[in-house]
Every structure is written in C-alpha cells, then in structure tokens.
Chains A and B, each alone.
Chain A
Amino acid sequence: MKDNKVILSIKNASYQYGDAEEGEYALRDVSYDFKQGKVYAIRGRSGTGKTTLLSLISGLERCTEGEIIFNGKNLRDINLDYYRSHDIGIVFQSYNLLPFMTASENIILSMDASGIKGKNKREKAITLMKSVGLKESYADRKVLRLSGGEQQRVAIARSLSYNPKMIVADEPTGNLDKQTEEEIMAIFRELAHKQNKCVIIVTHSQNVCDMVDKVYELKKVKKGK
C-alpha cells in the first residue's frame, strides 16, 4: 500500500517579475497539492506561467505572494540550495548536462553536490544509468556524443542520484520523438508508482497528459485580475 500523503502543497502562490508593472503577474493565485507515488502534469498554453511555476516548485525562485510547503516546511524557511541538492530532482527540456563531462561524471557531480560520501559513486551512477535504459558503455562518453533521448535519460539519472522525494520535469520530452517520449514517460511512471516518488511534469503535450495520474490546467493570467 503506497503512502500517498501530500508532499508538496502550493497555496495561493503568485509571482511577479521584479520589473513587472503593477498588477502584472507571471503566475497568479495558484493552489495545487501533489502527493507521493503520483505523476502529475501541469498543462497550459505558452505564457500561462508553466515554467515559472516549475521554478517556484524547484526552488529556483521564491513566490512573491502565497506559499509553497514541501514535506511540512515552507520553502521560504529552508535553504534552497540544500532543497535542490537533496529533496528535489530537476529535469529540463534541454537536459542541462555539462558538455565537457562524461555521462557518469554528470551524475557523480550531482551526488557530490548533495554530499554523498563513498568511493563507489561510479558504480551507483552506472546502476542509475541502467535503470533509465542506458548501457554501461555510455558511462565514459561525453554527453554531447549521446542522442537527445540518451541525454535526457542521463538527466533523469542525475536527478535520481541523491534519491530525492520529488522529480520536476520541464517539457522533458519536448525535443524527443514519440517513441522515446513514451519510454521516458514509462520511466517517470515507474519512479512514481514503484519508488513512491512524486513526479511533476510541465508540458503542453496532450500525449504526455494522457500518461499521467493527474493534470492541472494553468490558465493565462489576466492583467489586474
């Protein structure tokens, strides 16, 4: 029996850019709950604030109004560097791997950032790569020599390297073909359903939305509303 407790709760969160005019919001009054063991999609058209919401969830920005509660703690009150390196894994559409490093080095770097000790990090990295469908021989390959799908798998493996409770992914299949998209989505579902992680995917793809447990729809924010 999975523990489907709420791991992340967004309460009336709003976000305004520093140079925004009065009443101009990138995101306005959003309230969602996310539970462990589920895959969520946040869908919306361009300009609805999907990426902004993801950046608030992942602790890259702080909401200007409202609050985000992770595991009972307000993100305002915790060290966001620690949060990003321990509690949440982030996967981007453009993978965001360091090109001068190999696949395993990218994963090990994330382990180092989270303070994981031990000499068997490489073995752990290879295990993670295998779990997302990558061959061991890719471990020492520079990431630029991998295909888009392979790079995204490395990015997912990296996000799992410190065993976070939650994975957020921004258009993770946006640059991939349909078959690879399905393979990546299968990985996310497995992470949620078998490893009890909360997976939040920001997307505008209906195909992705069809493969998740719950979809939140973001509406475009009207000025002054």
Chain B
Amino acid sequence: MFILKNAWISITRNKGRNILIGIIILVIACASTTTLAISNTATDLINSYQSAYDKELTISFNRENMKKDFDFSKRDSLEDAKEKFDNITSYTIADVENFAKSDHIESYYYTYDISLNGNNIEKAESQTSSAMSGIPGMPQGDNMPGMGGFSNSSSYDFTLNGYSSLAAMSEFIEGTYTVTELTDDAWDKAFTGNYVFINEELASYNNLSLNDEIQLKDDAGNVYTFTIIGIYKENESGNAGPVDLFSNSVNTLITNANALVAITNTNSDIRGTVEPTFIIDDYNNADTIKNEFYGKGLNENYTVETNEEVATAGLSSIKNVQSFATTFLIITLLIGGIVLLVINMINIRERKYEIGVLRTIGISKPKLTLQFVSELLIVGLIALMLGAGIGAVSSKGISNALLASEIKSSESSAEKMKDNFGGGGPGGFNPMSGGPGGAMSDNPMDGGAMGSFGKKGVPDVQAYESIDAVVNLGVLLELLGIGLTLILISSIAAMVSIQRFSPLTILKERS
C-alpha cells in the first residue's frame, strides 16, 4: 500500500515530469481512439455491406487464354482453334458435385442449360431481330467448349435453363425476370419434373396459358413434353436493339436441372452446359479452393473467380479511410511508443538518486519497480481517459471529413473518366448513384453499363457517404489494451535500470 502512496506523492510532487508523460500518452490516446473508432466502424460498415452478398465462387471459361495462341486472320488457325476449343474437357454436374466436396464450401447451386427445337410450339422471332442477332435465348455462359463455342447454336429454337434450386434462380432473385402468372402448385412442382416457366411474349406468340403442354424435340427426333406452370416477363433487356421486337429471353424456357439431366441421359448427343455457383466460407480461402478444383481435374482454360470485387465495389472510399486510419494508428503507436520509452529512460536517469535512496533504506527491487510502474499507470490511465473523451468527440467529425475527401477524390477520378468518353458515356454514367445519405442502395452495382469500370479500381458507386465513427466499449477496451501495453513496454526502462543500478554507486556519484 505504501508503494501506491509513495507513487502518488511522487506524481503530485513532480508535476512537470508527469505532465509531459501525460501529454504524450494523451496524444497517443486521442489518435488511437479516433483511428480505432474509424477503423472499427468502417469494418462494421464493410461487414454489414458485404453480408448483403453471399461469398460466391464461380467457374468461367477463359477465352483470352485460348485466343493468345491463335492468329484468327488465318483460316487454318481458326480451324485449329475450333478443334482445340471443342476438345477442351468441359465439366459435368458430377464434377460440380465433386468440386463442392470442400471444407471451405458451404453450399452450391447450378444452372444446367441445353438447347432444343420446338415440336408443337413456335420460336418467337421477328424478322429484323433474326437478321440482326440471330441468337436470342442462347446460353450466355462462358463455359461453352464442347457444345459449340464456335458452332451456330442459333439453329435451335429454344434454350432451356434448368435450375438446381431456388437459390440458383438469380434472374428472379435479382429482378431481371418477374413471374406474372403461376399455377397454385407451381413451386411444389418447379424442381421435380417436366415443368416450365415461359416468357409471356412467347406465351402470347403461341397463344399458350398455364397448364398447357408444350413439346420440344431433339435432333434425333425424341419428343419431350413440358407443362407450363408459370409465365414470366423480362424487366430489362439491356442489349435489345432498336428493331428487336422481343426481349432477349423470349425463347428461354425456365425449368429444373433434373428434367434436363433426364433429357441428356435419353440422348447423350445433347450436351448441356453447367454453370455452378459455390458459396464459400471466406474469400481468403478462394486460392485453396481453386487449387482443389484444378486438383480434381478442372481444365486449365477455366478460371475460378469470386464475387469479392463486386461485393466490395462500393466500399473503395470507406476502405481507403479504414486503411488510412490503420496506418495512422500503427505510426502513432510506433512513434508514441518510442518517444514514451525515451522519455522514460531520461526520466529514470534523472531519478537514479531517488532509486539509490529508496534501495538504501531497504525497499526491494520488485517493490521499487512496482512503484515506478504504478506511477506510469496512474498518469497513463488518467491520460487515456482524457484521450478517449477527446477522441470520442473528435472521431465522428474527423472520420466524415476523411471520407468526404476520399469520395471527392473518387468523384474527380470518375469525372475524368467521364470526360474521356466525351462527357457522356453509355448507360448514363453516374459515379455517385446508388448510395445517398449513407444508405445502401438496393443494387450496389447500379450505374448503367459503365458498372464494369468499377472493377478496374474507379468506384462507380459509394455505399456510404458518412462513417459516423463511434467510440464504443470495444474501442475503449482496445485503447486500454494499447495503453497498458505501451505503458508496460516503456516501463521496461525503469525495470532494467532498477535491476542494474547499484545504490552505493548512485550515492557515491551524488556525494
């Protein structure tokens, strides 16, 4: 107890020295509180934003990888490319199921697409659209080798999209398609047998309605009958040309993957395309999963990618602020810690005489060390409390000022890019659309066709316009941890000196 009393007397009687130490710790505490509050709040916002997305991993065909080996201006080369392209081993549903057997994959779903001709149903086709594009309804996936990446798939009337589960129906989830009519038991049947959802334009074109049966046939003449259980419409048709009468999906029939697998089992010449989506546990495990896929036989011409970039596209400014806060915190702690250590070393040298006297009257080294550490702890805790208070008051303003500066910088980059496109740009380029008032947009990647630029490092959307950094219990505990660590590290000077100093030497020097 007398150690604490002695420490308190020493603090109150040596104000200058302790005020100096207190100021240093106060500055460190202020900076730490502010940066911790910014960093933690930014992390919460980022996590909250990212939680809106599943951590997805998809497989796509890397055309660029293939293209670089060929000179397409030469006919022979084109033939070679076609041959090579067709020979690339595609993956099957069985492969996908095998890929999914990973510790890092939480779930998966897929779409399975095939193409068939109509038997009692006519393909919806406007003359102009046929002439212009000729491929409405073609499977748009990139994993096309083996089923005609170079072949003219438009020779088939219909594309059948087979979903493995509700989660796979991304067009409906994202709102590209909307169901307009349903049978009462549609969702009970949707993933069980030969049931389809058809485009309302196709239904109108063929005068079809719910519960009608449609027949499709393959090249071998096998006929497959499907019952209509739903009608949908396409809400957006981004690539529609000015003379195209129908939406892109007009000849796309929505069914389940099992029904299509049964068809390809009937006729093995029909080659389906499977597009899997794997829900993974952590983006950091993407490389591990990727290696697992290749180890399980995935062809090297396929790439495995996550949606991390998309999921974080609107967070560039807030991430920059977070990064700045973290860097600033590290620098502050490093410099602050060194300054504190040096001040303490000087302080201890000045107190050698005191150490000598206290040792002479019989105060043991551990007790003396405890007294010196206690002094630093008392001063440090008072400074930490003051610093936390000041930091709490200032962190909100500082965080929002930093974010505003970052957003301004992003806007400047985006404006510059806009100018590069003559001041306009396709798709109504608006770098700030989608995130007013700090609220998350419904679709963070909104921003028109220029959305792709976001993937190249210039954010087209900012998810948040304010951080409102909050000093909560977590921040205070982190600050306490940092403060105590710094105090203990800087106390090492006292501890070492007390062990090393000989009282006799000190007192003789004094004499």
Considering the chains assembled together, what is the distance between the CA atoms of A85 and B362 in angstroms?
Answer: 4
Residue in B closest to A83 when the chains form the complex, CB atoms: B362
B356 within 8 Å of A by Cβ? yes
Query: Could you tell me if A96 and B363 are in contact, using CB atoms closer than 8 angstroms?
Result: no
Query: Could you tell me if A60 and B364 are in contact, using CB atoms closer than 8 angstroms?
Result: no
Query: Could you tell me if A100 and B362 are in contact, using CB atoms closer than 8 angstroms?
Result: no
- Nearest-CB distance from B92 to chain A (Å)? 81
Known: A55-B504, A60-B503, A61-B504. A96 touches B360 (CB 8 A): yes
Query: Could you tell me if B10 and A60 are in contact, using CB atoms closer than 8 angstroms?
Result: no
Partner of B364, one of A55, A81, A112: A81
Query: Could you tell me if A84 and B362 are in contact, using CB atoms closer than 8 angstroms?
Result: yes
Considering the chains assembled together, what is the distance between the CA atoms of A51 and B510 in angstroms?
Answer: 14
Considering the chains assembled together, what is the distance between the CA atoms of A39 and B120 in angstroms?
Answer: 130
B132 within 8 Å of A by Cβ? no
- Nearest-CB distance from B317 to chain A (Å)? 53
Give the secondary structure class of B's interface.
helix
Contact with B along A76-94 (1 / 0, CB 8 A): 0000011111100010111
Query: Could you tell me if B2 and A101 are in contact, using CB atoms closer than 8 angstroms?
Result: no
Query: Could you tell me if A100 and B10 are in contact, using CB atoms closer than 8 angstroms?
Result: yes
Interface size on B, residues (CB 8 A): 25
Considering the chains assembled together, what is the distance between the CA atoms of A114 and B5 in angstroms?
Answer: 15
Query: Could you tell me if B362 and A81 are in contact, using CB atoms closer than 8 angstroms?
Result: yes
A109 within 8 Å of B by Cβ? yes
Known: A94-B510, A94-B511, A101-B13. A109 touches B360 (CB 8 A): no
Known: A113-B362, A158-B361. A98 touches B511 (CB 8 A): no
Inside 8 A of B354's CB, which chain A residues have their CB?
A: 98
Inside 8 A of B363's CB, which chain A residues have their CB?
A: 81, 85, 113
Query: Could you tell me if A82 and B362 are in contact, using CB atoms closer than 8 angstroms?
Result: yes
Considering the chains assembled together, what is the distance between the CA atoms of A90 and B362 in angstroms?
Answer: 10
Query: Could you tell me if A101 and B511 are in contact, using CB atoms closer than 8 angstroms?
Result: no
Known: A51-B508, A60-B503, A96-B510. A110 touches B13 (CB 8 A): no
Inside 8 A of A51's CB, which chain B residues have their CB?
A: 504, 508
Please provide the chain B residues from 182 to 212 with a CB less than 8 Å away from any CB of chain A in the complex: none
Interface size on A, residues (CB 8 A): 27
Inside 8 A of B502's CB, which chain A residues have their CB?
A: 60-61
Inside 8 A of A84's CB, which chain B residues have their CB?
A: 360-362
Partner of A90, one of B2, B9, B358, B360: B360
Inside 8 A of B14's CB, which chain A residues have their CB?
A: 100
Considering the chains assembled together, what is the distance between the CA atoms of A136 and B200 in angstroms?
Answer: 107
Inside 8 A of A82's CB, which chain B residues have their CB?
A: 362
Partner of B362, one of A93, A94, A98, A114: A114
- Nearest-CB distance from A60 to chain B (Å)? 4
Query: Could you tell me if A98 and B357 are in contact, using CB atoms closer than 8 angstroms?
Result: yes
B119 within 8 Å of A by Cβ? no
Partner of B357, one of A81, A96, A114: A96
Inside 8 A of B169's CB, which chain A residues have their CB?
A: none
Please provide the chain A residues from 83 to 139 with a CB less than 8 Å away from any CB of chain B in the complex: 83-86, 90, 92-94, 96-98, 100-101, 105, 109-110, 112-114
Residue with the highest number of chain A CB atoms closer than 10 Å, among B10, B353, B511: B511
Known: A81-B362, A114-B362. A92 touches B511 (CB 8 A): yes
Contact with B along A32-54 (1 / 0, CB 8 A): 00000000000000000001000
Residue with the highest number of chain B CB atoms closer than 10 Å, among A58, A86, A100: A100
- Nearest-CB distance from A170 to chain B (Å)? 8
B347 within 8 Å of A by Cβ? no
B385 within 8 Å of A by Cβ? no
Residue with the highest number of chain B CB atoms closer than 10 Å, among A58, A83, A84, A114: A84
Residue in B closest to A175 when the chains form the complex, CB atoms: B511
27 contacts between A and B (CB under 8 A): A51-B504, A55-B504, A60-B502, A60-B504, A81-B362, A81-B363, A81-B364, A83-B362, A84-B361, A84-B362, A85-B363, A86-B362, A92-B507, A92-B511, A94-B507, A94-B510, A96-B507, A97-B357, A98-B354, A100-B10, A100-B14, A109-B2, A109-B358, A113-B358, A113-B361, A114-B362, A158-B361
Which residues of A are interface residues toward B (Cβ below 8 A)? 51, 55, 58, 60-61, 81-86, 90, 92-94, 96-98, 100-101, 105, 109-110, 112-114, 158
Q: Top 3 A-B pairs ranked by shortest CB distance?
A: A85-B362, A112-B2, A100-B13
Which residues of B are interface residues toward A (Cβ below 8 A)? 2, 5-6, 9-10, 13-14, 353-354, 356-364, 502-504, 507-508, 510-511
